Each structure stands twice: as C-alpha cells, then as structure tokens.
C-alpha cells in the first residue's frame, strides 16, 4: 500500500513538473567584445509558477573565458491583470537571475557553454552562445569595465553611496528589460549599448501633486481638463506607480463614476510597465484604465477613487526585501461642470457637445411609389454622438415614415458616430422631395451653438405594381405610428379557395390542442423551476426588477436607467459561456450579445440591444435629452419588454440545470 502511495505521489509530482513552464536562458551584455573586455552573462530562470532551485548554478569551464565574479541577482515577479465588471484575473511570471562577470582572453570564435540549473529536482540547461571576440582596441575600453578593473586592482570597495547608486541603476536596467518590444531596452540592433534608449528625454519626468514618493506604490488619476461644459468630454487615465516589483495585484474598488456617461478608451488586458521619474524619484508605471467621461449635469462632478491592493517587493541595500501587501487609492478629483448657455439654442439641438458633421444620403435618385426606400442620416465627429437624437423633421405629405433604426459607436481617439436609417414610402408617382435636416450642437471651444443643414434631395418615384399607401406622413420619432404603418402594410392572410371548411376545422382543433399542451408544459416547467432549477439567478432578477419598479414609481429615471443596464449585464453573465472569457470580461454590449447561444441570439439579440441603448440614454444622458426621449418612447413599455426577457431567460436557465 505504501508502495502504491509513493508511486501516486511520484506520478503527481511528475505531472506537475511536466505542466510547469520553466525556461532557462543566458544572455551576454554587451554582445560585441574584444580581448581583455569584461562583460556580464545573465542567466534567467523563468516560470509561470513558483519554483525551487537546488544550489547556485556553476559556470562551466570554457576556453577563452575567465570568470571573475558570480552573484545571485535575486528573484523578481511581474503580473498581467484583467479588471472588468468587478472581476480581476491576473497571471504571474517569476524570474530568478544569476550574474557572471567574465573576461575574454582569446581572439576568434568563443562559445559560452550551457549552464545547468536544478529546478524542482529536474535539470534544465541554457542554450550555448557562440560569439566572435575581436582584437583588443584601447579606444573601445568601456568606462564600466575600467571601473571594475580599478576595483579589482586596488581592492577598494565602493562606499555605501556608490552601492546605492549601483542598485538604482540595476532597477532602471530591470525596468528597461521588462519593456521588451522585440528589441531589448538599452541594447542596440548590433548588440551594443543603445544610447538613445537611455536618454533622459525618453523617460517622462513628472511633477505630481499630493503624492508621497516614500510609498512603495501609489495610484494616480490624471485628467486632461478641470473645467468642462455639460456633455463635454474629459479623458481620465488611472496609473499605478511602483518602485520595486509587483508579485500580486487585485482591484479593491473601481470608480463608480456617478454623474457621468462613460465610454471605455482602454480596458488594459495586462499591466505594461515603463520607466518614469516622479518628483525626481525613479518609478515604473502602468496604465490601469482610460475612460472618456461626459458629465450629465451642471455643478461639481466627482471622479471617485480607484483602489488597488498589491503585494510588492522593494529593493534594499542588501538586495530584494521581503514582500509586503498594501492597499492604495487614487485621490478624488473634482470637476467643475458649466451649464450649457440658453442663448443661441435652437429646437434642432438634441444634446450634442463637441464638433460634428451631418450628412444624408439615399441609394439612388429613383425610387418606386408605394415601396420603402432607405434614407441614412449620419452624425459624426469629436464628442459623444451616442447622445444625438433625430431633430424634428417636417416630412411632406408625399412621404410616409415606415420605420427608423439607429447604430452608434465610440472610438478610442474620441471620435464617434450615430447613424439613423429611415425607411420612407413615396405615396405618389413623380417628384418626391426629401426635406433638408437641420442639426445643432454646442462647440465648447467656440463656446456657442453651431447649426448645420443637409441639402434637400430631389427624387423621382416611378410607377409600382404595388398599391400605393395613402396615409399621411409621420415623424421619424413616432415609433407607435411606424409600427401602425408596418401593420397596415402587412399582407392580409387569406384562405385559398381549395382549402375546405373541414380542413380549416381540423387545423383549428390541432392548433388548440397544441396550445393546451404548450400551456401545461409551461406550468410544469415553472413548478419545476420553483423546486429546483437556478433559484439564485431568478432571485437576483426578481430583486433587481423590484428595485427598478420602485424607482419607476418614484420617477427616479436615472436610477431606472442604470439599474436596467445592470439587469441586462446580470442575465448576460449567466448566458455567455464561461469558456469565452474575453466576451464575458468585456463591457462592450455588442461583444456580449454576439456571444449569445444561437437560440437566444435569434430571439433576443436585436431587442436587447435596443433596450440597452434606450436605458443607457435614460440613465446617463443629460436631463434635456432624457426628457425628449421619454416623450418619444414610453419608458414603461421598454421596461415591460426588459422584464419579460429577463424572466424568460432566468426561467429557461433554471430549467437547463
């Protein structure tokens, strides 16, 4: 029995070792050397898991290479982090360094031999390196080599200040190595020192207020403006600044950003550190998040704190110190939000702040009477075009609005667009005019309203075989009228002459029986869900619905909008497969909906996207935009649809467990 137990333990150890990703690599700095030159050979042992090394690896004897000094460079750790919707996922890379100071005393080709390392009981070796050693040239002697020779010949040790300066230089070199973008930081294409990589102008020299440079790390919020107009974009970047190395990191609190419409510029799939000088102190910094924020109300808006919990290891005069866990937060930033002026505001203003263009186009200048054609109206520019609604349009009696749909997107460079596709039906043959569309926006740079107008489009309606629709024109924002028009234009269902009454009666009884069976099945399914299923999700959905209903009763429309968005994310978290972590971690609603299972996608994708866009406007648009929207589209009807979809999905998921 003991034998079996020992065998199992051995097998488990073997399996764990076989899955550990351990690499051993040797590198020479610098790579171009001559006879008499001194250089460093850095041995890196890297793994994605913690590991143990038995003894320090010895440098093998090699012809033409003299080992002057051997030292343990210490252990470091780097992390990659994902922070989305309150969930944090990070991976770790652990590196153990050994440094060999060597001197070359032979001209020609010299081979740096493989260096063997015992990692977790298994021997792994670096690959040999073949280099060319040139003739000695006094003009090529490096200051660093001369300093080492001086220390060796005189036997004088550096004082404490010099050692501290060396350690600071080592930290800078390690930061530069972590930057690695195909070409090692600080190393030129030919392998020699790259002076441009070490020039101070390439390292940001920052003077930051209200930071303590004695801390191991801190989180800093950087905003590009301190005073904006209502609806104007302010870009906020959150950075983490670290002196040592991070071994573990987690988000303790993400900013709530209440009072803002938020667009994500960067979700930051992993921390990428670059060097920076903060108030004269060398740091490494990485971007945590970057958002475009649009304040929705005049007054004072607060960008709340981003809190990070991290385990860091700092450099001391004796090497790397012990790891310590700290929790730090960025300071709150106050933003002055100016109200939009009333002077110059026209009826065509719908909340757009920035710089925009408008264009209208149709697919051709000839259409058919009685058949719908598409008019596309596109708004694009710098700012949040998602807030734009169609301005009032005086449609002529010769045109009927059949349907309207929209698409919008915000880009990382601050540009955005919103495009409306309007289906119009000519009511008569002959000349048809699509009226010009006036659009107004507020330009914060010029501090005034700008109005732009499209040209009137002159079309020709050709004769059609279909009967003409003679109803009067309707505005594009009247969705009820559009749906009514859609119903009136639907073809009527007529029984063919050969379809007998007996066949109709049999079909009627068959449909009735099918409906009874479906009804009984649904009742049985509901009872089953109550007894088993996934009660936790249904409970969460019901609680969220009650909260929204309470806010709706109190006419707290902002809360109705934000809680409805949360309800959509809640059900999508359970619907999207756990294996698709990228879609599950994304805050982009299009990514989430695109990963719906096919039976959900066909049934809910389009409507959920419409509901999400609607409640995003309700929750985060300025008051004027929100009021205009609720006058056009009934908020209770939209919530009723969301409530129905959420309950259907929750119950269906409950039955599937």
Which region among 123-127, 243-247, 412-416, 491-495 has the lowest average model confidence (pLDDT)? Answer: 491-495
Kindly report, residue by residue over 404-432, the tens digit of the pLDDT: 888 888 888 888 999 999 999 998 899 99
Model pTM greater than 0.75?
no
State the average pLDDT over residues 236-258.
84
- CATH for the 203-338 domain, from 2.60.40, 1.10.1060, 1.10.3470, 3.40.50: 2.60.40
Buried b (16+ CB within 10 A) or exposed e, 358-393: bebebeeeebbbbbbbebebbbbbbbbbbbbbbbeb
Which region among 63-77, 482-496, 538-552, 583-597 has the lowest average model confidence (pLDDT)? Answer: 482-496
Predicted pLDDT at 19? 45
| Domain assignments of the chain as residue spans, ordered by start | 21-157, 203-338, 349-488, 525-656
Predicted pLDDT at 173? 55
Predicted pLDDT at 341? 92
354 or 657: which carries more pLDDT confidence? 354
What proportion of the chain, given as a percentage, has pLDDT over 70?
Answer: 70
- Using the 8-state DSSP alphabet, how is residue 203 labeled? S
Kindly report, residue by residue over 155-178, the tens digit of the pLDDT: 433 444 444 445 545 545 554 444
State the average pLDDT over residues 99-127.
88
Q: Is 331 helix (H, G, I), strand (E, B) or coil?
A: coil
Average pLDDT, the chain: 75
Give the contacts of 585 (CB within 8 A, at least 6 positions apart): 82, 84, 85, 87, 89
State the average pLDDT over residues 319-329.
81
Q: Does the structural domain 349-488 have CATH classification 3.30.1490?
A: no
Q: For domain 21-157, which architecture applies? A: Sandwich (2.60)
Please, which pLDDT band fits residue 446 given cuts at 50, 70 and 90? Answer: very high
Give CA–CA dist 404/486, Å, rounded. Answer: 11
Give the contacts of 337 (CB within 8 A, at least 6 positions apart): 227, 228, 229, 230, 295, 297, 298, 299, 300, 301
Cα of first residue to Cα of last residue in the chain, in angstroms, is 40
Whether omega for the bond prior to residue 405 falls within 30 degrees of 0, making it cis, is no
Alpha helices in 275-399 (DSSP H): none
State the average pLDDT over residues 104-124.
88
Predicted pLDDT at 657? 54
* 203-338 and 349-488, same CATH topology: yes
Contact 345, 250 (CB under 8 A): no
Contact 546, 562 (CB under 8 A): no
- Residue linked to tokens 């050969």: 498
**pLDDT at 147 exceeding the cut of 70:** no
Q: Give the pairing of strands 319-320 and 33-34.
A: unpaired
Predicted pLDDT at 543? 87
State the average pLDDT over residues 423-442.
92
Give CA–CA dist 557/563, Å, rounded. Answer: 10
Please, which pLDDT band fits residue 107 given cuts at 50, 70 and 90? Answer: confident
**pLDDT at 535 exceeding the cut of 80:** no
Which region among 343-347, 512-516, 574-578 has the lowest average model confidence (pLDDT)? Answer: 574-578
Predicted pLDDT at 47? 85
Kindly report, residue by residue over 614-624, the tens digit of the pLDDT: 888 888 777 77
What proportion of the chain, given as a percentage, has pLDDT over 90?
Answer: 19
Kindly report, residue by residue over 31-78, the tens digit of the pLDDT: 888 888 888 898 888 887 778 888 888 889 888 898 888 877 666 666
**pLDDT at 370 exceeding the cut of 50:** yes
**pLDDT at 442 exceeding the cut of 50:** yes
State the average pLDDT over residues 100-113.
88
């Amino acid at each position: 029995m003991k034998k079996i137990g020992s065998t199992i333990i051995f097998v488990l150890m073997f399996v764990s070792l076989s899955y550990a990703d351990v690499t051993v690599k040797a590198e020479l700095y610098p790579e171009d050397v001559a006879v008499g030159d001194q250089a460093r050979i850095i041995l890196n042992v890297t793994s994605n898991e913690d590991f143990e090394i038995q003894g320090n690896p010895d440098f093998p004897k090699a012809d033409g290479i003299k080992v002057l000094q051997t030292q343990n460079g210490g252990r470091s750790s780097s992390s990659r982090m994902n922070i989305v919707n309150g969930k944090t996922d990070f991976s770790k890379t652990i590196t153990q360094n050994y440094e060999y100071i060597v001197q070359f005393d032979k001209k020609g080709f010299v081979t740096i031999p493989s260096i063997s390392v015992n990692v977790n009981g298994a021997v792994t070796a670096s690959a040999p390196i073949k280099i060319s050693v040139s003739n000695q040239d006094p003009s090529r002697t490096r200051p660093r080599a001369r300093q080492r020779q001086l220390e060796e010949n005189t036997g004088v040790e550096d004082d404490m200040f010099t050692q501290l300066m060396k350690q600071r230089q080592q930290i800078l070199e390690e930061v530069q190595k972590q930057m690695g973008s195909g070409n090692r930081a600080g190393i030129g294409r030919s392998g020699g020192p790259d002076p441009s990589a070490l020039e101070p102008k390439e390292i940001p020299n920052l003077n930051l207020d209200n930071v303590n440079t004695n801390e191991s790390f801190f989180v800093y919020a950087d905003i590009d403006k301190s005073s904006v107009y209502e609806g104007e974009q302010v870009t906020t970047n959150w950075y983490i600044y670290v002196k040592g190395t991070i071994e573990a990191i987690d988000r303790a609190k993400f900013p709530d950003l209440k009072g803002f419409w938020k667009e994500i510029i960067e979700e930051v799939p992993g921390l990428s550190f670059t060097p920076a000088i903060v108030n004269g102190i060398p740091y490494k910094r990485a971007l945590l998040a970057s958002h475009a924020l649009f304040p929705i109300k005049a007054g004072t808006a607060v960008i709340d704190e981003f809190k990070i919990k991290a385990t860091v290891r700092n450099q001391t005069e004796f090497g790397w110190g012990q790891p310590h866990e700290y929790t730090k937060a960025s300071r709150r930033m106050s933003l002055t939000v100016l109200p939009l002026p009333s002077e110059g505001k026209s009826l065509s203003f719908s909340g757009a702040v920035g710089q925009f263009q408008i264009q209208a186009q149709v697919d051709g200048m000839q259409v058919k009477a009685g058949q719908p054609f598409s008019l596309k109206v596109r708004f694009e520019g710098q700012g949040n075009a998602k807030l734009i609604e169609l301005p009032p349009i005086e449609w002529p009696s010769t045109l009927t609005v059949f349907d309207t749909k929209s698409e919008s997107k915000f880009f990382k460079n601050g540009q955005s667009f919103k495009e409306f596709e309007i289906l119009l039906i000519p009511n008569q043959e002959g000349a048809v005019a699509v009226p010009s569309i006036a659009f107004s926006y507020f330009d914060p740079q010029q501090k005034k309203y700008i109005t732009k107008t499209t040209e009137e489009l002159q079309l020709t309606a050709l004769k059609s075989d279909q009967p003409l629709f003679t109803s009067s024109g309707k505005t594009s924002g009247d969705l009820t009228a559009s749906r009514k028009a859609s119903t009136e234009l639907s073809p009527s269902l007529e029984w063919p002459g050969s379809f007998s009454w007996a066949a109709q009666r049999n079909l009627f009884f068959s449909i009735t029986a099918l409906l009874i069976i479906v009804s009984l099945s649904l009742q049985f399914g509901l009872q089953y869900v109550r007894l088993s299923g996934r009660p936790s999700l249904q409970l969460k959905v019901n609680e969220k619905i009650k909260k929204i209903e309470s806010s709706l009763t109190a006419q707290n429309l902002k809360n109705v909008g934000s809680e409805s968005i949360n309800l959509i994310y809640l059900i999508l978290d359970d619907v999207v497969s756990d294996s698709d972590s990228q879609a599950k971690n994304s805050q982009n609603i299009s990514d989430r909906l695109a990963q719906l299972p096919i039976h959900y996608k066909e049934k809910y994708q389009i409507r959920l996207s419409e509901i999400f866009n609607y409640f995003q406007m309700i929750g985060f648009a300025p008051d004027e935009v929100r009021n205009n929207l609720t006058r056009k589209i009934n908020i209770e009807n939209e919530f009723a649809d969301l409530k129905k979809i959420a309950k259907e999905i929750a119950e269906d998921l409950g039955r599937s467990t």
